[in-house]
Amino acid sequence: MVKNVAIIGTQWGDEGKGKIVDILSEYTDIVVRFQGGNNAGHTVKVGEDVFILHLIPSGILHPGKICVIGNGVVIDPQALLEEIDTLKKNGHFLDDSALLISEDAHLIMPYHKKLDQLKEKIKGTSKIGTTGRGIGPAYEDKVARCGIRCRDLLNDRVMREKIKKNLLEKNHLIKNILHEDGFEVYEIYHQYNEYAERIKGYITNTSLFLNQAIKNGKRILFEGAQGTLLDVDLGTYPYVTSSNTVAGEAATGSGIGPTRIERVIGITKAYTTRVGGGPFPTELNDKNGKALRLKGEEYGATTGRPRRCGWFDSVAARYSTRVNGLDGLVITKLDVLDEFDKIFISTAYKYKGSILEEFPSDSFILDECEPVYEIMNGWKSNTTDIKEFSGLPKEAQDYIRRIEELTGVEAIMISVGAKRKEAIMIKNPFEE
């Protein structure tokens, strides 16, 4: 029996991980977020209610499950508290012991948000298109060894000292170079003191907790945020987020050894989307792109921005398979393709007259790549109520089989609608 499974986005995020984590949460004891912050937006539809979770693992919608925010996450306490309040107001997360936050997770501070937005502004047309949530500057401070961590919230003196030291540098940058208003130590200190009062009960040694849970045979689901192509090392740099989004981070970002993760499942949409700037070879700026956006409701869950849409890119999917060591694929939003006559899959790229079978790691090369397409027949019928793979139209089965062939990974689940029950489970990773 498999106990520990990581769920990873294989594209540029927004693959529908929230829904899949929600489905698989039923089979686990613990759900862990291990990277990113409230730049993520995991949408889960429960009955008629829609929840968009930014920081707390989607497992929180299942009473009795423990949710962990690991050391690799960056936490905006204000956003966290808003999320807690919204959940409680809607009758969820009634037991406070269901949430554990790593003492080593870094905090997003008000100056991180300001710097994120100001830096984007001065980049002009070459901006990354960040979510403006302060994610990049918070990770910058973590690596520069001047970040403020959750454990610091528990110590008044350390907190005040660290804010003071940081503001010396940040205020100089904000006031003298970026010509904006700076921050006052006491204001941030008091604000974060108030947050600390409400958050401190959740803060603990989550690495210890998770390792003990593994020893005791508990089942754990590691919930990735964003997607492989946004990974700071392996994504389409510099058009990436500031954390590692690949499977390896499930270990580092939660304080467990990589040998403890038994299965890595990649989530991929049946087509591709991207928010923000950067190369996107299969992007469609035509009526098909519009149709995907409309039917797929492709608007950012965090920022509301329209997502760029395009066909499925198997070159990118093969790359994700390689760098994550994928054991299985979950293909989401198949129903969005229900009305198309013809469906295109990119099988390779054309670059300056030659054919590339492998995803180039250079964004500038990727930007000049043209997809080589294979054209498949659409199925022109509604798939949302289908419960078995064999019940899918033959053309839809062929499409999925072709994705499996091109990536070398088997599809273990197909999602055919937004609701929990609109999914075809072929193989449950926890029941292998």
Nearest to 24 by CA among 49, 7, 1: 7
CA 335, CA 414: separation in Å to the nearest integer?
10
| Closer of 240 and 396 to ligand IMP (Cβ) | 240
Residue whose CB is less far from ligand IMP, 4 or 58: 58
**Complex with ligand IMP: residue 247 or 348, whichever CB lies closer:** 247
Are the CB atoms for 57 and 32 separated by under 8 Å? Answer: yes
Of 271 and 340, which CB lies nearer to ligand IMP in the complex structure?
Answer: 271
Pair of tokens at residue 136: 């990049």
Q: What minimum distance in Å lies between the beta carbon of 299 and ligand IMP?
A: 11
E-assigned strands of 321-422? 328-332, 342-351, 354-356, 370-377, 411-415
| Nearest residue (CB) to ligand IMP, 40 versus 348 | 40
Can you read off the two tokens belonging to residue 318? 């093969």
Task: Using CB positions, name the residue nearest to ligand IMP.
Answer: 276
Q: Which tokens is 294 given?
A: 């409309």
Residue 412 token pair: 């273990």
Considering the complex, state which of residue 242 and residue 272 has its C-beta at the smaller distance from ligand IMP: 242
User: Would you say 228 or 242 has its CB closer to ligand IMP?
Assistant: 242
SS3 29: coil
Least separation in angstroms between residue 123's CB and ligand IMP is 12
Give whichever of 117 and 211 is closer to ligand IMP, judged by the CB atom. 117
The residues, any chain, with a CB within 8 Å of residue 328's CB and separated by 6 or more, are: 263, 265, 266, 409, 410, 411, 412, 427, 429
Smallest distance from the beta carbon of 288 to ligand IMP, in angstroms?
Answer: 21
Q: Which residues contact 421 (CB under 8 A, 6 or more apart)?
A: none
Residues 269, 250: Cα–Cα separation, whole Å: 21
Q: Could you tell me the smallest distance in angstroms from the CB atom of residue 243 to ligand IMP?
A: 8
> What residues pair up with 411 in beta bridges, in sequence order?
329
Shortest Cβ 269–ligand IMP spacing (Å): 12
- Residue in this structure with the two tokens 């999925």, named with its chain if needed: 400
Contact partners, residue 354, CB within 8 Å, separation at least 6: none
CA-based nearest residue to 344, from 380, 369, 310: 310
State the minimum distance, in angstroms, from the CB of residue 303 to ligand IMP. 7
Three-state secondary-structure class, residue 220:
strand
CB of residue 7 to ligand IMP, shortest distance in Å? 14
Residue 42: active-site member: yes
Measured distance CA(107)–CA(119) in Å, rounded: 19
The residues that touch ligand IMP, with contacts defined as CB under 6 A, are 12-14, 39-41, 128-131, 133, 135-136, 225-226, 230, 241-242, 275-276
Can you tell me which residue has the tokens 């508990």? 218
* Candidates 22, 42, 116, 335; catalytic one: 42
| Closest to 81 in 3D by CA, of 142, 32, 38, 30 | 38
Q: Tell the smallest beta-carbon distance from residue 32 to ligand IMP (Å).
A: 17
Tell how strand 220-223 and strand 30-33 pair up. Answer: parallel
Q: Would you please indicate which residues are annotated as catalytic (active-site) residues?
A: 14, 42
